[in-house]
Structure 1
Amino acid sequence: MPGKVVCRDEWLAARKELLDKEKAAVRAAAAFKEQLRNDFPMVKLDKAYTFEDPKGKYTLAGLFQGRKQLIVYHFMLGPDDEAGCSGCSFLTDNLPSSLTHLYAADTTFVLVSRAPVAKIEQYKKRMGWDFPWYSSFGTEFNWDFNVSLDKDVKSPVVYNYKEMEKPFKGELPGLSVFYKEGNDLFHTYSTYARGLDGLLVTNQLLDLTPLGRQDVPWKRHDEYDSKDLKAN
């Protein structure tokens, strides 16, 4: 059994002590977000990119869908992959079931992968998702934002703002944020690897439990055995 069993008064004392640390963590997170909003610079984008979905082709500006902000999740699904990354699939399952609240805040959210449209649509149907999902196939978008890596082309190979110790070729996850002012587009933020952890609501909920995350080998949601999903 995790932890120890104590009386209510001892539990309350421990909870108050933990609350101080919890509040400090919340304040630190708030300070980080304030710096990101108010003090962090942005870079104007001049390169043209083309994206595609079943309805047609779009520029990066077109992905904004008329809004001022754009969040792109770089989903690991390459041209030669048979299925989307299980980790990216887990993250996508944790996204809001409705994007309406983001839209109300003048913000568009999309997925982008380097796989062709047909492969994206096939996997999207399998997972039962309706998020906007575009192909960047044939453009340099994924390379420019360091989520498609090619040890034979790019040297050194950089991911998460540092050179990788071992050569790597393929797709990696990330999230990038863009801002639109008039006709000008700006790159404001990107995060990778553990920086994506805050999007995993399942993990945030499990972190509050005695057993924690339990190092569960997350699967695509249609790959769990019935024994993994105990009935109520």
Structure 2
Amino acid sequence: MSTFNPEFPKIVTHEQWLAERKELLIQEKEFTKQRDELNSKRRRLPMVKIEKEYTFEGPDDKLNLSDLFEGRRQLIIYHFMFHPDWDEGCPSCSFLVDNIGHLSHLHARNTTLALVSRAPLEKLEAYKTRLDWNLPWYSSHESDFNYDFHASINQKKGSSEYNYTEKPELVKSLNGKTAEVPGTSVFLRDGETIFHTYSSYARGGDLLLGTYNWLDLTALGRQEAWEKPKGRSDGPFMSWVRRHDQYD
């Protein structure tokens, strides 16, 4: 637990607090309407037919992309950062997975959620057991899936962009090696035909982090350096995040 002493909000009367709270409520309601409209625009995006075959390794067998749907209409893939050479998964990706609720609620909406990483299956299974997760996790080690959906960056593999922007400096710094980056990709199935409908990266995953959403309701917030007002941070963005079995 941090011993940092942040600056507190100013102290006012209840009447003064209530007046400012009501002003903020107006903005919160407007934001909710804007978010609803944004979600509507996301649903109106066109989609792209998946023509390429991808192979994944699961606990029981090798699978294709269609198998990952588990018979449901929609599939959400979280691109979990786990390089084949690593012994542990990414801490911030682990933080996100810890924030995933019971999958039965997604299943009730005909939607499957799964993790995909490039690390070999035995590493994924060991890490999954360590952190006591029970959601499906597949290895894409033998396919181009991560590269094609820009969750692994390697120019030789045709992947040199992140968050829909070319990253020449990052590519140059890699010296031919591969960088793992986080993201989410969404697919829709119509019979045997699969379509790619959406992908998001970087802070596009912010909405998926329930812990952050709870902290955003508090006076001290996330306590990260980018936030305002200043004086309530004890470190940079996500510097405090640990795997859940590594906190003090």
- What TM bracket, shorter-length normalisation? over 0.9
Q: How does 1:165-204 map to 2 (within 5 A)?
A: 165-168=168-171, 169-204=178-213
| CA distance in structure 2 between the aligned counterparts of 1:123 and 1:164, rounded to whole angstroms | 30
Match of 1:122 among 115, 120, 126: 126
Residue by residue, what CA displacement relative to the aligned partner does 1:122-157 show, whole Å, maximum 9, x if unpaired? 111111111100001110000000011114x15772
- Calculate percent identity across the aligned residue pairs: 50
Structure 2: state its 5+ residue gaps: 1-6, 172-177, 225-238
Query: Which structure 1 residue ranges, 4+ long, deviate > 6 Å from structure 2?
Result: none
Q: How does 1:14-53 map to 2 (within 5 A)?
A: 14-37=20-43, 39-53=44-58
Query: Match for residue 5 of structure 1?
Result: 11
| CA distance in structure 2 between the aligned counterparts of 1:18 and 1:70, rounded to whole angstroms | 37
Match of 2:151 among 147, 156, 170: 147
> Conserved in 2, the CA contact under 8 Å of 1:94 and 1:199?
yes
> Conserved in 2, the CA contact under 8 Å of 1:149 and 1:157?
yes
Whether 2:242 is the aligned partner of 1:219: answer yes
| CA distance in structure 1 between the aligned counterparts of 2:76 and 2:133, rounded to whole angstroms | 17
> Conserved in 1, the CA contact under 8 Å of 2:183 and 2:205?
yes
The two structures, once aligned, show a CA RMSD in angstroms of: 1.3
Cα drift, residue 173 of structure 1: 0.4
> Conserved in 1, the CA contact under 8 Å of 2:147 and 2:157?
no
> Conserved in 2, the CA contact under 8 Å of 1:206 and 1:212?
yes
Query: Match for residue 162 of structure 1?
Result: 165
Aligned residue type for 1:207? D
Aligned residue type for 2:183? G
| CA distance in structure 1 between the aligned counterparts of 2:145 and 2:114, rounded to whole angstroms | 14
Cα drift, residue 167 of structure 1: 2.2
Aligned residue type for 1:221? H
Whether 2:104 is the aligned partner of 1:100: answer yes
TM-score, normalization: structure 2? 0.87
Say which is worse superposed, 158-167 or 140-149, in terms of deviation: 158-167
Cα drift, residue 165 of structure 1: 4.8
Cα drift, residue 201 of structure 1: 0.5
Query: Match for residue 228 of structure 1?
Result: none
Query: Match for residue 73 of structure 1?
Result: 78
Cα drift, residue 224 of structure 1: 1.0
Query: Match for residue 57 of structure 1?
Result: 62
Residue by residue, what CA displacement relative to the aligned partner does 1:153-175 show, whole Å, maximum 9, x if unpaired? 15772000001152243110000
> Conserved in 2, the CA contact under 8 Å of 1:83 and 1:123?
yes
| CA distance in structure 1 between the aligned counterparts of 2:16 and 2:201, rounded to whole angstroms | 40
Cα drift, residue 221 of structure 1: 0.7
Query: Match for residue 230 of structure 1?
Result: none
Aligned residue type for 1:220? R
